[in-house]
Structure 1
Amino acid sequence: MRRVGEAAFSKVEKINSELFSLTYGAIVTQLLKDYEEVDATNTQLEKMGYNIGVRLIDEFLAKAQVGNCGNFGETAEVIAKVGFKMFLGITAEVVGVSEKEFSLQLPENPLAEFVELPEQYGSLAYNNMLCGVLRGALEMVQMRVECSLTKDALWGDEVTEIRVVLKEMMEEEYVDDD
């Protein structure tokens, strides 16, 4: 999977990582000003991520050239080794895999590169957009999931960890207009 991730990474247009992380920080700062509370900002970050994931999956499927995953564990590996590499330039570690859930651990996180959370924003899920991206992308491939940040380096943890729980495999519906 790592080689597939490297190949996919080479096919996408890249931007400066510092510019990317500073731009993301500006978005989070503006949301905090607009919503004036951390919980509403966390929700909005997840929603924004969801909308990005819905669109990002098309590029992923077109450029990554990965086949169908046989189980949820394979899905986790593809996300960790190909998806994260392709779009963030990093790989994640998959831990705690079962039939219905897994966690992705990010030892490094380009979104939080220059970030320190002030005390009043201690419960800010700064990386919540990643949860939304995963939820949106997986929903487009017929997996309804729940994603949550369980650890964050910005909260003092050693790694950032995202828990993904499969709620249901959705059935594709075909509606004949005749």
Structure 2
Amino acid sequence: MSDDAPPEPGTTAFPDRPRVRHARPADREALLALQRSLPRPNPDLLRAALDDVGRVLVSTADDVPVGYLLALGRAAAPDDPSDRRAATDTTGDETGAYVAELAVAPAHRRERRATDLLAALRDGLEGGWVTLTVAPDNEPARRCYETDGFRELRREPAFFDGDPALVMGRRVDDGAR
């Protein structure tokens, strides 16, 4: 492969984030294993995303996935009408994304891997919002997202199988990447 040839699909590393790349078909089992660490895993969603329904970015250690972010081309609209205009509300619109899942192996937490995954996602977007949901009592995740510039947009009283969730978001172009 020459230096001028485009990268093969699924292998692109993000130049500013060398530990982050797009998922590869060979990552499937490792990502499904990581997903089992989530409180509410959705294997069907991950399998579909790996089959090109959404974006799956992976954080690697020695090219082995130790974290991943699954994003869909939809950002939840903020409640604030001034913010709502900026949020995308159509599936497949590339101006925003909804982070459906974000997982990092316990041995690799507090290494900025979640932050790098979120930044790489934003790097690939042209504007709009990145939104996600988090359990209100998940303090480590909330702190990570708040440190990355996310803010609470609204509360959903019965999101996770009847349990509440916070919808958090940030504009793609807000703050440092």
- TM-score w.r.t. the length of structure 2 is 0.28
Larger proportion of strand: 2
- TM-score w.r.t. the length of structure 1 is 0.28
Which of the pair has the greater relative contact order for Cα pairs under 8 Å at 6+ separation? 1
- The structure number with the bigger radius of gyration is 1
Larger proportion of helix: 1
